[in-house]
Amino acid sequence: MSAAGGRREAVILAGGRSRRMGSEKALLPLGGGTVIERLALRLAGSFDRIIISSGSEPPSRGLADALARLVSGGVDAEVVRDQRPGSAGPLAGVEAALEAVEGSRAFFVAVDVVDPGDSLPGRLLEEASAEGSLGAVPRCGGLIQGAFAVYARALLPRVRSLLDEGEARLQALAGIEGVSVVELDSAAGGVFTAFNTPAEFESARLAIEGGAETEM
């Protein structure tokens, strides 16, 4: 996966409250570790630095321990917190992460995406490398996938403005001039598979640990 302008960076959006799950998604056991460790290790195969956006509250003990294990295993990873009071939604997580990004852009992915693969993140990074680009967001089956996208650091002022206006949705970023919307065939929708309930997680866990996971 190529990247222009320095080290390749990926952001894991892990600040959701997991109300329907009933426990912290990032720390659910999966594939011999936790959800977030599994995702971070997969991303570390293509990216040089992993930023974990953890919401406005201090990271839980479990998340801090997971981060320590990643770092001790050689992964360049760190946690950043939202600076907005209360729960300002995932857009606040993008703001905090963009403030921490060292390069010109980063790949963003939700913590509960089973496997981001390599080809689609690479395609989005390539799309976002054009001069003047502020990012690239996929649209599949008519749905904007704002939590699986590339955002440029230069987008930060617009993100701040949206938050100041009360916006919290990542989908709002797709309407900004300079953010490309990449149309995907509906068959590509599997890459966005995530889980919000215990039943959905159990289905994903069985597929992965049973060896039935599809290679992306």
**Could you tell me the pLDDT band of residue 22, with boundaries at 50, 70 and 90?**
low
Q: Give me the number of domains the chain comprises.
A: 1
Q: Express each pLDDT in 71-89 by its tens digit.
A: 999 999 999 999 887 767 8
Judge whether 149 lies within some domain.
yes
Judge whether 135 lies within some domain.
yes
Indicate if the pLDDT at residue 1 is higher than 60. no
Judge whether 216 lies within some domain.
no
Measured distance CA(66)–CA(12) in Å, rounded:
13
Phi, psi values for residue 2, rounded to 5°:
-85, 155
Domain coverage including residue 72? 9-209
Judge whether 3 lies within some domain.
no
Judge whether 63 lies within some domain.
yes
Alpha-carbon distance values, 67 to 21, 34, 216 (Å): 21, 11, 25
Indicate if the pLDDT at residue 3 is higher than 70. no
Q: Express each pLDDT in 141-167 by its tens digit.
A: 899 999 999 999 999 999 999 999 999
Q: What's the CATH number where 137 sits?
A: 3.90.550.10
